[in-house]
A = this chain, B = another copy of it.
Amino acid sequence: MTVANVGIDLGGTNLKLAVIDGSNSIIQRHTVPTDGHLGHDAVIANMVRGVTELRLKLGDAVTVESVGVGVPGMLDMPTGVVLDLPNLPGKWTNVPLKAILERHLSVHAHVLNDVKGFTLAEYTIGAAHGVRDALFYAVGTGIGGGLVIDGKVHFGVGGAAGEFGHIIVNPSGVLCSCGNRGCVESLASGPAIIGEANRRVVQGFTTRLTELIEDDLNRTNPQIIEQAASEGDPIAIEVLERAGYFLGLSMAGMIAALAPEMVVVGGGVVKPSGVYWNSFVETAISHNTVTDMSRVTFAPASLGYEAGVIGAAMWGRLVERGEATPAK
């Protein structure tokens, strides 16, 4: 009888599910639509169905030890109650996700923030394997983060550590969705980059970018902007360098504070060694005068879009076995 652990990564479009074995390899995968617009009950029902289908695929030779769930927002870790998922429709406030899953699946469920799952996976088997102190950035719709200090994921009070996206780097800057001004998320996330690029298109700059999007503002995305930049588009380069500058500023401060061995950066917006990447790395180095930057490595996340689901499954196993404790 093989023991395995299920992970669920709750995304805006899809639920990614995976089963990992004892060596953290994925032995089974499944993806189902999130159906976020149908509300949290429907989404949780999709989770239950997804796990059930995975179990059927696994057959009787594999026992599911735990289910770990990564959610894109805030929760109360010990009870597994979701407090707020700002980027999902359907008002996820005070949703007892853990309890509902356990009732339907007859297996323990353990919930954590999705970027902490990413952090756990990238630390344990990914880019930061073997490193004791590292910072983790996930740059997508938002900018989330995680920390590994002395070989352990640091959660902080309420499990809320790692909110690097809401470090203020430009106090007189633009309004952030959180209500403050000049948070790095409002200046360097995917939507921030798209918004700045489109602003220039609307203002009449005609460059390679406007060709690539075929004059349709809805087609602008970070990948196309990176492509335009790689072909020498001065507007695309400026937009990416500016966003990278603000992300790099915030990284310089975090590195001054924590002196980590490594900074791992992943997420859909990030192209390793692209214009954005080079900008934040150069800015972080040039705006830090107090850390020996030759000893700080910048590394792209190495597990791709599966880091979150792997980390969620790992988290379930760790808590189930008493090797980690949900933060209060």
Contacts and interface: CB of A to CB of B under 8 A. Distances in A.
A150 B150 contact: yes
A163 B261 contact: no
Interface stretch (A192-200, A218-226, A289-297, A312-320): A289-297
Interface stretch (A11-19, A23-31, A167-175): A167-175
A261 B259 CA distance: 21
B156 A258 contact: yes
Given A150-B152, A168-B169, A157 B254 contact: no
A33 B152 CA distance: 44
The 10 A-B residue pairs with the shortest CB-CB distance in the complex, in nearest-first order: A156-B259, A167-B253, A163-B290, A178-B289, A161-B259, A163-B256, A160-B259, A157-B295, A149-B149, A166-B290
A249 interface: yes
A164 B253 CA distance: 8
A241 interface: no
A238 B161 CA distance: 32
Interface of A: 133, 145, 147, 149-150, 152, 154-164, 166-171, 178-180, 249-250, 252-254, 256-261, 287-292, 295-296
Nearest to A181: B287
Contacts of A171: 169-170, 249
A295 B158 contact: yes
Given A150-B152, A154-B258, 15 more contacts: A147-B258, A156-B258, A158-B291, A160-B291, A161-B258, A163-B256, A163-B257, A163-B291, A166-B256, A166-B289, A166-B290, A167-B253, A168-B252, A168-B287, A180-B287
5 contacts: A147-B258, A149-B149, A156-B259, A161-B259, A163-B259
Say what secondary structure dominates the interface of chain A: loop
Contacts of A290: 160, 163, 166, 178
A169 B253 CA distance: 9
Contact of A161 (B159, B161, B166, B257): B257
A292 B168 CA distance: 17
A228 to B, nearest CB: 26
A154 to B, nearest CB: 6
Nearest to A152: B150
A259 B287 CA distance: 24
Given A290-B160, A290-B166, A147 B257 contact: yes
A296 to B, nearest CB: 7
Nearest to A177: B289
A158 B256 CA distance: 11
B289 A162 contact: no
A69 to B, nearest CB: 20
A96 to B, nearest CB: 19
